[in-house]
Structure 1
Amino acid sequence: MKRYLLILVSALALTACADLSSSNGSYSSTPTWEDAATNKLTPQNHEAADKLIEQAKLRLESGRPLIVATLVNINALEESSPLGRMIAEQVSGQFSRHGFEMIEMKFRNNVYVKQNVGELMLTREIRQLAQNHNAQAVVVGTYTESSQLVFVNLKVIRPSDNIVIAAHDYVIPMDKVVRSLLGRR
């Protein structure tokens, strides 16, 4: 009887401690395809791009390309992360799906790409880079971390005069997926 009671108590304790998969990417075990399909990070990045497109579409010319720069850490503008690079890729993809011509910076010969950082964009470099590639606008962004959230800011900048023609801010929860993309385990 004691043995059965011990097994029952152990099973209940394990069940109580189990961290089941959730839709925000906080997985206790290997995520499933269903978990990946319900992760909200990619749709949130696509929605952010849609908001930029909605604001900027009347101010952008068809047939002239745009550049998307890697998002950088606002507290260290020379630093990025896999999260910053992934957001830039997803934003660029969404602009492309809406019919905008996007310049893929990783395939350009004369762009400075710092190892482990990506195509970083500082204000003084925007005009020259856009001019070299005939880009009408540059999408730039920053992020900053708190203990539980990541704050993201995206802007579409006209490089000829550095005027912001669209902007969108959003917040990402600091779940396990985001933590790993920021290099925090």
Structure 2
Amino acid sequence: MLSDSLAANLISNLQVRLDRSALIMTAPFADLHDVKNTSPLGRILAEELGNAFTRHGYRLADTRVFMPSPYSLKEQGETALSSAPDQVGATSGVQTILSGTYAMVDGGLRISARLVRPADHAVLAAASCRLRLTEEVRELLAASSGTAKVPAFPATLMNLKTKADAKLVQQALAAQGLYKGKIDGLFGKRSKAALSRFRASMALPATPAWDLETQAALLPTT
């Protein structure tokens, strides 16, 4: 699972040893481009990553029982974290805060997580991963009124047997350094191999399959 892998990377990247008997508090992940806003996806990421830490033997604080709340409540809902995390630690006995951000990057979603020490705001560990932009993920992002609208999948699938469409795909693959052949509109073995590598980079099956999801990731403006 993504949460288990991300938790393992955070733990392996720790700069100091954490006391497993002390509490870790999670905060909803925020939109990187608007850190005062989160979404259903941001809350799910925090919940699942926190659960993953408990599977590694760490103690997780239930943020719903702490007063004052570690979150700031704005018009658009929960933000990622209080602007004064040191106060959070002082009032709740929390040793570490688990927070993060997400952002649309190259047709996918980049998830970044970090462990922060409330006492001095020091980042003790950081890790990131890529989340495939499925229709379900799009809906979880769009459910927040403060989150930028996520573009829908294109209505029309490009035809790779048509030279004009094949050239556009070859150009997009070449721009990402995946295709080194001629931009000739002939979607042969080299083009298909490049497409397979692109799909693998998006956590899709490493095949040259061409569908609306792949098209939206490679050519988001079509």
Offset, 1:59:
1.6
Between 75-84 and 53-62, report the one with greater CA deviation.
53-62
Deviation per CA, 1:21-65: give whole Å up to 9, x if none.
xxxxxxxxxxxxxxxxxxxxxx11221012112233852113210
Deviation per CA, 1:64-114: give whole Å up to 9, x if none.
101111100111111101111100000100111112111111233421463
Q: What is the alpha-carbon distance in structure 1 between the residues aligned to residue 30 and residue 132 of structure 2?
A: 18
* 1:117–1:45 distance in 2 versus 1, CA, 3 Å: farther
TM-score under structure 2 length normalisation: 0.58
State the SS of the aligned residue for 2:73. Answer: coil
TM-score under structure 1 length normalisation: 0.69
**Equivalent of 2:31, from 73, 92, 101?**
73
Asked if structure 1 preserves the Cα contact closer than 8 Å seen for 2:24 and 2:97, the reply is yes
Higher helix share: 1
* Runs of 5+ consecutive residues of structure 1 not aligned to the other structure: 1-42
**Equivalent of 2:6, from 48, 56, 60?**
48
User: Which residue in the other structure is 2:80 paired with?
Assistant: 120
Q: What is the alpha-carbon distance in structure 2 between the residues aligned to residue 77 and residue 58 of structure 1?
A: 27
Amino acid across the alignment from 1:87:
L
* 1:106–1:57 distance in 2 versus 1, CA, 3 Å: farther
State the SS of the aligned residue for 1:59. Answer: coil
**Equivalent of 1:171, from 122, 130, 144?**
130
Amino acid across the alignment from 1:45:
S
Amino acid across the alignment from 2:7:
A
Deviation per CA, 1:103-133: give whole Å up to 9, x if none.
11123342146377446314x3211111111
Asked if structure 2 preserves the Cα contact closer than 8 Å seen for 1:49 and 1:95, the reply is yes
**Equivalent of 2:19, from 61, 80, 91?**
61
Sequence identity (%): 23
* Runs of 5+ consecutive residues of structure 2 not aligned to the other structure: 143-149, 153-222
Amino acid across the alignment from 1:120:
A
Asked if structure 2 preserves the Cα contact closer than 8 Å seen for 1:153 and 1:169, the reply is yes
Between 102-111 and 132-141, report the one with greater CA deviation.
102-111
Cα RMSD for the two superposed structures: 2.1
**Equivalent of 1:154, from 104, 113, 137?**
113
Any runs of at least 4 consecutive aligned residues in structure 1 with deviations exceeding 6 A, and if so which?
A: none
Aligned residues: 142
More relative contact order in 1 or in 2 (CA 8 Å, sep 6+)?
Answer: 1
Asked if structure 2 preserves the Cα contact closer than 8 Å seen for 1:152 and 1:169, the reply is yes
* 1:175–1:154 distance in 2 versus 1, CA, 3 Å: same
Asked if structure 1 preserves the Cα contact closer than 8 Å seen for 2:35 and 2:79, the reply is no
Q: What is the alpha-carbon distance in structure 2 between the residues aligned to residue 66 and residue 119 of structure 1?
A: 18
User: Which residue in the other structure is 2:93 paired with?
Assistant: 134
Asked if structure 2 preserves the Cα contact closer than 8 Å seen for 1:66 and 1:138, the reply is yes
User: Which residue in the other structure is 1:105 paired with?
Assistant: 63
Q: What is the alpha-carbon distance in structure 2 between the residues aligned to residue 162 and residue 172 of structure 1?
A: 27
